[in-house]
Amino acid sequence: MKTAMARPLSAIGSVVLIIGALLPWATFVLNDGPYPDKATLEFFDAPFGLSSFRLYLEILGLAGIVFTFVPVRDKIRVLKSIGWGAAGISVVNLLFIAGDGGGLGAITAADGVPAFGSIVAVVGSAVLLFGAYQLPPEPLTVIDSKLPWWAEWLILLAAFVALLFLITETLTAGGHSGVSDPYIGPLFLSYLSAVGALLGVLHAFGVTEWISDMSERHRVFSIVVLVLCAVAVPFTSVGNDYWMTITANIGVYAATAIGLNIVVGLAGLLDLGYVAFMGIGAFVAANLSGAVAAEFHIQLPFIVAAIASGIVAGVFGAVVGSPTLRVRGDYLAIVTLAFGEIFVRVSQNNIGGLTGGSNAIPNIPDLSLFGAQFNDAPTIGGLQLPGGVLYYFLIVLLVALVMFVFGNLKNSRIGRAWIAIREDEDVARAMGVKTGKLKILAFMTGATLAGLAGAVFAHKLATASYDSFQFNQSVTLLAAVILGGMGTIPGAVLGAALLFVLPEELRQFKDYRLLFFGLALVVIMRFRPQGLIADRHRRAELADEDTTGESLDDTAIKEPVAVAAKEAGA
């Protein structure tokens, strides 16, 4: 009976959505931005537009109609993705217009000008979503076909190029090089919602899974292509100084987040002071760089300094990890938090003259290779590259290295032992896993990677200041890992990218950045604790809970297992 309502509802919703997209959206003209030609007002008030958010909504609406009537597998996920994407676009623009236009008048009717577009679109997407949720849930579609290797290579290549395109488009969705376009926020979020809907549909068709299986089969090829794609970024539309800096920053944090993912995602040890290891790496590198303010006036080659940073951070990691021998769970989290706080205090007070205190260690020399300064804009074969591109390449290398380490560890004996510890430490120990050593090893590995990232970070910024390594940074990194998906590489990269790109794109909401972080952590833990890109292993666990967890209350989920074990075993 419920299912019968699904088709008419989603069809009606889709049609309403398209109508909404074609109506005018704002009753007023806001043309006071510094770039009037870019901030065109038709964007909001003209009806029948075929660009930007209107275009996305029209496409989504059409897709909604098509998929309502064409038989596809997993229709519920397809329509849900379309619905949520459309809802995202509509709500973002509704809020923006209402907010900027001074209230409800802006999105209804004022001065004889009607503009109900946003409200109609919101209603349309709500109806579409409501219809979609009437459908019966289906297991995730699996495409199980293997092609000849060359065909799979081609598909992977195409997929990665498409990904590269999506990423560069995402970065520039709100305009290039960060000029202050007043519409950058809604433009970017609209684009992001549309991309999310697209990926959701692909996921429902099993395409994303299929491609990730393929890349698993051709790991080396994938990594090479991925690195090549990353190297190609400076030659695309984001190839300018501004984006090189941003992407380099994302890269540093992504590398650090992957390191944290080893500790939290694989070994299941919550580390709340992780950024301190990055700080240690940064200060070690700063002190060995020959900076005037540094304690040691020696200048080691960068590669030596970076290795030293990694080693020192790793030693601290082992020290901080050693309480894991005695302390578990949230107590361990507190130990790491306390360590992080100690680090901040100590470096703020310039202990031993090593950290520069509140003056930081400024003027860390720029890296150079064969005479090329890393911050300069090099010219290769007559092609002018953006400034900082060498740092960008260095960081791509760093991320690739960290991914390589993570990937190999995860699929090794050690990685499996970590996962066993995460799932149940006592059982792991009973099975002969040397839990103590392995937990310290997890801390050490994570810290070493963070130390390396810190060394690069210090040179890139030319400064090492305690202020960059505060508790909030640890929370942000943790949020990146959790948002992306614990225990997965793409998860950590995606998480880091989202958490460090979003503030750039949403600069007008910068003040609310941390507010949203906090809220996001709460909401993710509530509705999607496995993160955006879930680990297969974990997904299996969570799927299992989905089918039985519905009516069990309180202790009923943890307890029965114990009882069942007792009843079965005793």
Query: Which residues form the interface with other proteins (CB under 8 A)?
Result: 268, 270, 272, 323, 326-331, 333-335, 337-339, 341-342, 345-346, 348-349, 471-472, 475, 478-479, 482, 511-512, 514-515, 517-522, 525-526, 529, 544-545, 547-549, 551-561, 563-564, 566-570
In this structure, what token pair is assigned to residue 29?
């003209």
* Closer Cβ to other proteins, 223 or 327, answer by number: 327
Q: Please, which residues have CB within 8 angstroms of residue 128's CB and are 6 or more apart in sequence?
A: 9, 10, 13, 14, 17, 64, 79, 82, 83, 86
Angstrom distance (rounded) from CA 433 to CA 508: 51
Q: How far is the CB of 121 from other proteins (least distance, A)?
A: 28
Q: Please, which residues have CB within 8 angstroms of residue 550's CB and are 6 or more apart in sequence?
A: none
Q: How far is the CB of 553 from other proteins (least distance, A)?
A: 6
* Closer Cβ to other proteins, 159 or 421, answer by number: 421
Q: How far is the CB of 245 from other proteins (least distance, A)?
A: 26
Q: How far is the CB of 549 from other proteins (least distance, A)?
A: 8
Q: What Rg do the C-alpha atoms of the chain give, in angstroms?
A: 26
Q: How far is the CB of 346 from other proteins (least distance, A)?
A: 6
Neighbour-count burial of 449, counting CB atoms closer than 10 A to its CB (0-12 exposed, 13-18 middle, 19+ buried): buried
CB 28 within 8 A of CB 110: yes
Q: CA-based diameter of the chain, in Å?
A: 79
Closest CA to 237 of 192, 161, 170, 172: 172
Q: How many CB atoms lie within 10 A of CB 375?
A: 19
Q: How far is the CB of 517 from other proteins (least distance, A)?
A: 6
Residue 550 carries which side chain, given as an amino acid letter?
E
* Closer Cβ to other proteins, 146 or 537, answer by number: 537
* Closer Cβ to other proteins, 349 or 379, answer by number: 349
Tokens 């009537």 locate to: 69
* Closer Cβ to other proteins, 27 or 324, answer by number: 324
CB 532 within 8 A of CB 488: no
Helix locations, 175-240, DSSP H: 184-204, 207-217, 219-232
* Closer Cβ to other proteins, 29 or 519, answer by number: 519
Q: How far is the CB of 27 from other proteins (least distance, A)?
A: 28
CB 476 within 8 A of CB 260: no
* Closer Cβ to other proteins, 2 or 558, answer by number: 558
Angstrom distance (rounded) from CA 202 to CA 453: 34
* Closer Cβ to other proteins, 369 or 523, answer by number: 523
Q: How far is the CB of 513 from other proteins (least distance, A)?
A: 8
* Closer Cβ to other proteins, 37 or 511, answer by number: 511
Closest CA to 191 of 2, 389, 373, 56: 56
Q: Please, which residues have CB within 8 angstroms of residue 547's CB and are 6 or more apart in sequence?
A: none
Closest CA to 453 of 310, 556, 561: 310
Angstrom distance (rounded) from CA 49 to CA 58: 10
* Closer Cβ to other proteins, 299 or 548, answer by number: 548
Q: How far is the CB of 442 from other proteins (least distance, A)?
A: 15
Tokens 């100084």 locate to: 241
* Closer Cβ to other proteins, 131 or 484, answer by number: 484
Residue 434, helix vs strand vs coil: coil
* Closer Cβ to other proteins, 145 or 551, answer by number: 551
Q: How far is the CB of 555 from other proteins (least distance, A)?
A: 6
Q: How far is the CB of 499 from other proteins (least distance, A)?
A: 13
Q: How far is the CB of 558 from other proteins (least distance, A)?
A: 7
* Closer Cβ to other proteins, 138 or 545, answer by number: 545
In this structure, what token pair is assigned to residue 126?
């709500």
State the sign of the Cα–Cα–Cα–Cα dihedral 216, 218, 224, 228: negative
Angstrom distance (rounded) from CA 179 to CA 233: 20
Closest CA to 393 of 256, 232, 282: 232
Angstrom distance (rounded) from CA 343 to CA 278: 11
Q: How far is the CB of 256 from other proteins (least distance, A)?
A: 18
Residue 110, helix vs strand vs coil: strand
